[in-house]
Amino acid sequence: MKLAIAFLIVLLSVAVIPAQTSRYSCPMHPEVTSTRKGRKCPKCGMALTRQSAQPKTEPEPENKPATDSFSSLKIPDTPVLDQSGKELNFYSDLVKDKVVAINFVFTTCTAICPSLTATFRRVQQEAKTRGLEVQLISVSVDPTTDTPERLKDFAAKFKAEPGWTFVTGEKTRIDAVLQALGAAVNNRNDHTPMILIGNAGTDYWTRAYGLTSPAKIVDILADAAKRQ
């Protein structure tokens, strides 16, 4: 009898304890979970959010729209500079009424930026092949170092064509843009590999991991272009 009770207690604690532990998971990648607060998703850099104690059994759709938190209205119309040193208003000149993909890079990065940028290059080529009109935007997370001249060299190195704009500018303004797009970081090396993809005309927004295959990213862009 005692043994049976002890067994029951062990069984109960096994069943109950995990359910009481807080779980955090990535809004874009539900398979990425942690029991610790404040973690970021290694796939897209988004902060993990707390989940209810009951794990979801329904699989999440792969391209979950970021509609719960994001809208064109959140994008600032801040004056910024492109790689030619031309002043543009971020929202009205680069985003408004367009199908866009935005990534976050810095020219002196030796880690992930070369891959993110090479991916964008292939996205640009593939979108062109498929007749899809898109605006690519690479926002510098290190605007103090990344002058328009540096960005121009960087763009040339990756054979960027018209329709791909590299953005820098006054640090406070760029910080405001990064903040609004969910890509603000204290240390440039911690920048997110996330790509923000949207149809600004219809206010449809989603996010993707920056090292997803270029074909898949173009699929997501094509899907965004069709969204009402």
Q: Is 211 in the site for Cu ion (CB under 5 A)?
A: no
Rounded least distance, CB 111 to Cu ion, Å: 5
Q: How far is the CB of 70 from Cu ion (least distance, A)?
A: 22
- DSSP at 76: -
Residues in the chain: 228
Q: How far is the CB of 45 from Cu ion (least distance, A)?
A: 11
Chain position whose Cβ is nearest to Cu ion: 109
- Smaller CB distance to Cu ion: residue 112 or 180? 112
CA-angle at 40, arms to 179 and 65, nearest 5°: 65
Min dist CB 191 to Cu ion, Å, is 6
**Which one, 112 or 222, has the nearer CB to Cu ion?**
112
**Residues 108/145, Cβ–Cβ less than 8 Å:** yes
**CB contact at 8 A, 184 and 200:** no
Query: Which residues, 6 or more positions from 217, have their beta carbon under 8 angstroms from its beta carbon?
Result: 101, 119, 123, 195, 197, 208
Residue 154 or 204: the one with the smaller Cβ distance to Cu ion is: 154
Q: State the number of binding residues for Cu ion (CB under 5 A).
A: 4
> CA-to-CA distance for 28 and 52, rounded, in angstroms?
16
Nearer to Cu ion, 113 or 200 (CB): 113
- Considering the complex, state which of residue 27 and residue 45 has its C-beta at the smaller distance from Cu ion: 45
Distance of CA 195 to the CA centre of its chain: 3
Interface with Cu ion in residues 81-120 (CB under 5 A): 109, 111-113
Distance CA 106, CA 141 (A): 6
Binding site for Cu ion (CB under 5 A): 109, 111-113
